[in-house]
Structure 1
Amino acid sequence: MGRFSLLNQLQRRLDDLAAQNALPLLFTPKRGVEREALRITPQGDMAVSAHPQALGSALTNEFITTDFAENLLEFITPVTDSVEQLMASLNDIHVFTLKHLGQERLWPLSMPCYISEPDAIPLANYGSSNIGRMKRVYREGLKNRYGPVMQLIAGVHYNFSLPEDFWAHWQQGSQSDAYMGLLRNYRQLVWVLPYLFGASPALCNSFLGGREHHLPFEKSATGSLYLPYATSLRLSDLGYTSSAQAGLRIDHNSIDGYIRDLRAVIATPSDEFAKIGVKVDGQYRQLNANLLQIENELYAPIRPKRVSESGEKPSEALARGGVQYIEVRALDVDPFSPTGVDSDTVRFMDIFLLACLLLDAEHLDNTQWSENLANFQATVLEGRKPGLLLKRKGQPLAMADWFAELMPVWQRIAEGLDAQQGGSAYQDSLNVQRQKISDSSLTPSARLLAAMNSSTDGRLGVALADAHRSTLLASPYQRWSEAFFEQEAARSLAAQAQLEAKDEVPFDDFLADYFHSAKAGVA
């Protein structure tokens, strides 16, 4: 499909919405960010200290929690239609956190630091309530299934939606249909994101832990392993992936098909995971021996989502109300940003996802799925290779030519966003990406490799962590205050204590009820 065909397709959709005075709603999207960050010592080692109590309860704090490990923080912003407010929120969460980490820093890279003893990685602790214990056992299962080091990989998740009022003006099917179309287009174009934002072209040798691989790694002067044209090893088969899930094809052509396939996978026993055992000598090793313990174990670069009500699983929320927003999971942590993501990236994500929504989305079959996956992996492993060829409908297509087709579409959307919101920030953001497309040395992966290879002591990650810590500790609060976060920390600790006090059902019964009645949600 040529650039003019894509642009004409987009313009027809925009004209339809303009006739209904719906462009202001289209061009005021909402977004939220979740950023993961590993706590480290000043020397660059993994911190093994407990989650600081001053940050509140990792189970119930709305802004600061933990992911797989006790030392893997996760920062969550509220949803907002203002990029400035989003970045201010993210800044403030980082500032408060660093003020209560003592001398610890936040590791600025997606791939973890040197891990000398994987068994020393502390699983996240959520207290003694049944829901807290279930979250802990889920992580025990992840450790036993995939190994603990892989679970320390950090990323940035981008949650995106349009205002609810917008959908009254959408004439191409339901809201869920539209978001599922976005997912299908995203699956075809997701290779764009590791090229522009991938920042994990290298990894520490300790990450492999003796695992076999067939990648032609080169070794830097300081011992890191890298691929010269790689963009995001985090997204490669070595990164945050699962061989057990490699063959899964969850239907993206309808929300009903998606829910059906997801539930089927969750209910499918795994011979491999059965060997681990579920409860052995009185100790849980995983929640169950199925292909997925729970829905959130599905490793995917994008997910359809709806905010769950109390007692709902994610798929139950989708079945009840349809798709409310989408979660993008293919962004590396930006090592050059103190908060792990910058406003130019946020604005391009708005442009990119609006394009995925507005362009026609073809049916996604197995052939297209395989082609999309091959393009994604090619970009992850050698996205900066000069003349790189991708495939579209079985035919080779130069990445540069595909970018050239997409750029006018992105430009038109950037102009619409700027016209609605004032200024030129979206077009400026697009120009930043345009420069990366013209010169791959400007991409984060190339910049990181260059910095790594010029570092004489091999402590680039520590140096960046130190610099970001200094920047954030010198930064004033922009949206909230110290007292605001202290109140949230106190509230969250009280909420956890209340959960623990009211639990009366034995944990075994709680789990049995969860898997029989599907009446609890954990992440």
Structure 2
Amino acid sequence: MTSTFLTFDARVSAVGKSDFLNSLRNIRRGVEREALRINPNGRLALTPHPSALGSALTHERITTDFSESLLEFITPPESQRKKTIEQLRDLHKFTLNNMGDEWLWPMSMPCFVEDHNEIPLAWYGDSNVGKMKRVYRLGLKNRYGSMMQAIAGVHFNFSLPDEFWQKWATLHGKAHSTEQVSADYFAMIRNYRRFCWLIPYLFGASPALCSSFLTGKSPELPFEKLGKGTVYLPYATSLRMSDLGYTNADQSSLQICYNHLDNYVTLLRKAMETESSRFKQFPAGEGGNWQQLSHNILQIENELYSPVRPKQPTRSMEKPSDALARRGVSYIEVRALDVNPFSEVGIAQSQMDFLDVFMLTCLLIPSGKLSPDELQLTNDNIATTVLYGRKPNIELVRPGQTVTLKNWALELVEYFAEAAKVLDAAYATSDYSASVQLEKDKIIDPELTLSGKLMANMLSENRDNGAVGLELAEQYSTKLRENAYLHDDETVFKQMASDSARAQNEVEAKDTKSFDTFISDYFSEPPAKKNA
């Protein structure tokens, strides 16, 4: 078949027809929301993961991230638009009902932490896989520090159904295949990288942080002080995504390629096999001393800090790169979202609607290959936006020209509006167009952004971010506990907890190898071939 080039307008016209609209109703989305457990005094809860929630190793919906104190809520892929947010509310209600008098911290940057060393590493039991997860986290602590790993975020998972991809391939004169679907997802990712700066501008909600976060650090940023112990940058949107947050200097040399799946996988594997002089100081099993999983740039693929990831669900003990090599891209994980402090579950329905529009637009706009120079520009634009995004006339750079953030964003709104009309038609709603208008208002007036609203709240009364966070945590705890269950109730969640505990026991009972042998076997397994 001959490949056909289509413009944005031609693609919009095509997907606006009934057969495409029917397939768009099966977009699947999910959310992973992280949240620190805190005490009512605003300090980190140092208690173990509540046993009533089940096993953090094997529970599919409620687990932990870096710390015992850092919960992660996971919703399954759903095609019903509003089901995900409702499932999140159910998960939060059950959790709050089973964690005593503790609350959930409603912000991305951590609450007051007196001693970084008091942040308890997550515990996953005595199985080899449980120990591996813990050693990986110990490696993160040694490499980057515990405070960085206590930062919470929200991940939005997005996938288009196979019937859409079949029609999309036909539209472009191509044969439908796993390889073609992966190539089109990568085209989407390239445009996502180009436009990703807009997400922290709109949804960044960490312009300020508790000064305890900076203990032992010497940031070269012009922080201003607020209240008793808050520091902030006047125009910042997401300090979580700045160099204060998730950073790995060694990763900057990787130049991860988003032009082809094969290259992406190859570079990921190379990072897992390339020794880092910086991390060589920490033992990786020598003499039975496990302070990290390896001395390499990445211990495992999950250590790659990126605002987006192509994903394929993994099977038992399967590496993410092998899953991609074998079965291609299944969905996209958007990782640039701060916890929304104005939502009791960390994300609002209007945000999810806009992200549907954003991701579809990234596919509809023709997407050329990303050169290393342009990829660096995408990183630079994010760095500018997270620190100075609300500054009047702040400029970003695209190949060959500078442009104000506002003007570029308003250009993109024109594309978003067309994609929103398509989704409105597919779902018989006006919510998608409304979500675009809501975000357009924030582009015109930066004070309407999440970071702008949060700073206005604090500055108006010289309030610490900790005081604001604590007030919201109490308010949300009360509200969520009073909510009625909409999908899964107490009985279902208790059964999930019981099943997960039983599953962990089974995993532990099946272990026959020493931990050293288990890790050696895991890393020595030959890389998977395509469709193996």
Question: What interval of TM-score do these two structures reach, taking the shorter chain for normalisation?
Answer: over 0.9
**Distance change in 2, residues 1:519/1:488 (3 Å):** farther
Aligned partner of 1:43 among 41, 44, 48: 41
Aligned-partner residue type, residue 332 of structure 1: D
Q: Residue 273 of structure 2 corresponds to which residue in structure 1?
A: 267
Aligned-partner residue type, residue 69 of structure 1: S
Q: Residue 346 of structure 1 corresponds to which residue in structure 2?
A: 352
Q: Residue 63 of structure 1 corresponds to which residue in structure 2?
A: 61
Q: Residue 4 of structure 1 corresponds to which residue in structure 2?
A: none
Aligned-partner residue type, residue 260 of structure 2: S
Aligned-partner residue type, residue 513 of structure 1: D
Q: Residue 233 of structure 2 corresponds to which residue in structure 1?
A: 227
Q: Residue 52 of structure 2 corresponds to which residue in structure 1?
A: 54
1:456 to partner: Cα distance:
5.4
1:18 to partner: Cα distance:
5.1
Aligned partner of 1:74 among 69, 72, 75: 72
CA contact (8 A) 1:42 1:104 kept: yes
Aligned-partner residue type, residue 493 of structure 1: A
User: Where do 1:139-158 residues align within 5 Å?
Assistant: 139-158=137-156
1:431 to partner: Cα distance:
1.6
Report which stretch shifted further, 356-365 or 454-463: 454-463
Q: Residue 3 of structure 1 corresponds to which residue in structure 2?
A: none
TM-score (norm 1): 0.95
1:457 to partner: Cα distance:
5.7
Instruction: Give the SS at the match of 1:188.
Output: helix
User: Where do 1:288-327 residues align within 5 Å?
Assistant: 288-327=294-333
In structure 2, distance between residues paired with 1:456 and 1:294 = 43
In structure 2, distance between residues paired with 1:363 and 1:431 = 30
Q: Deviations over 1:56-88 (max 9, x none)?
A: 000011110000000100000011112211111
**Distance change in 2, residues 1:33/1:518 (3 Å):** farther
**Distance change in 2, residues 1:398/1:484 (3 Å):** same
CA contact (8 A) 1:14 1:23 kept: no
Question: Does residue 400 of structure 2 align to residue 400 of structure 1?
Answer: no
Aligned partner of 1:422 among 422, 425, 428: 428
Report which stretch shifted further, 410-419 or 452-461: 452-461
1:17 to partner: Cα distance:
4.0
Q: Residue 177 of structure 2 corresponds to which residue in structure 1?
A: none
Question: Does residue 469 of structure 2 align to residue 469 of structure 1?
Answer: no
Q: Residue 444 of structure 2 corresponds to which residue in structure 1?
A: 438
1:403 to partner: Cα distance:
1.7
Question: Does residue 498 of structure 2 align to residue 490 of structure 1?
Answer: yes
Aligned-partner residue type, residue 179 of structure 1: Y
Question: Does residue 328 of structure 2 align to residue 330 of structure 1?
Answer: no
Question: Does residue 511 of structure 2 align to residue 513 of structure 1?
Answer: no
Aligned partner of 1:247 among 245, 249, 253: 253
In structure 1, distance between residues paired with 2:340 and 2:197 = 17
Report which stretch shifted further, 368-377 or 150-159: 368-377
1:248 to partner: Cα distance:
2.5
1:169 to partner: Cα distance:
1.1
1:16 to partner: Cα distance:
3.6
**Distance change in 2, residues 1:20/1:176 (3 Å):** farther
**Distance change in 2, residues 1:281/1:115 (3 Å):** farther
Aligned-partner residue type, residue 502 of structure 1: K
Aligned-partner residue type, residue 140 of structure 1: L
1:139 to partner: Cα distance:
0.4
Q: Deviations over 1:426-462 (max 9, x none)?
A: 1121121111111111111011111122345631111
Instruction: Give the SS at the match of 1:203.
Output: strand
Question: Does residue 195 of structure 2 align to residue 189 of structure 1?
Answer: yes
CA contact (8 A) 2:204 2:338 kept: yes
Q: Residue 380 of structure 1 corresponds to which residue in structure 2?
A: 386
Cα RMSD, aligned residues only = 1.6
Question: Does residue 500 of structure 2 align to residue 502 of structure 1?
Answer: no
Q: Residue 391 of structure 1 corresponds to which residue in structure 2?
A: 397
Q: Deviations over 1:337-370 (max 9, x none)?
A: 0000010000000000000111111111111012
Q: Deviations over 1:165-204 (max 9, x none)?
A: 2111123461011100111101110011011000000111
CA contact (8 A) 2:55 2:497 kept: yes
Q: Deviations over 1:143-184 (max 9, x none)?
A: 011011100000000110001121111234610111001111
In structure 1, distance between residues paired with 2:341 and 2:500 = 30
In structure 1, distance between residues paired with 2:462 and 2:286 = 49
Aligned length: 513
Aligned-partner residue type, residue 438 of structure 2: V
Q: Residue 99 of structure 2 corresponds to which residue in structure 1?
A: 101
CA contact (8 A) 1:143 1:151 kept: yes
In structure 2, distance between residues paired with 1:354 and 1:437 = 20
In structure 1, distance between residues paired with 2:293 and 2:349 = 39
Aligned-partner residue type, residue 473 of structure 1: R
CA contact (8 A) 2:272 2:298 kept: yes
Instruction: Give the SS at the match of 2:361.
Output: helix
In structure 2, distance between residues paired with 1:169 and 1:310 = 33
Aligned-partner residue type, residue 113 of structure 1: C
In structure 1, distance between residues paired with 2:317 and 2:427 = 38
Q: Residue 456 of structure 2 corresponds to which residue in structure 1?
A: 450
In structure 2, distance between residues paired with 1:467 and 1:85 = 23
Aligned-partner residue type, residue 191 of structure 1: W
CA contact (8 A) 1:306 1:322 kept: yes
TM-score (norm 2): 0.94
CA contact (8 A) 2:236 2:389 kept: yes
Structure 2 residue ranges without an equivalent (≥5): 1-5, 175-179
Report which stretch shifted further, 52-61 or 161-170: 161-170
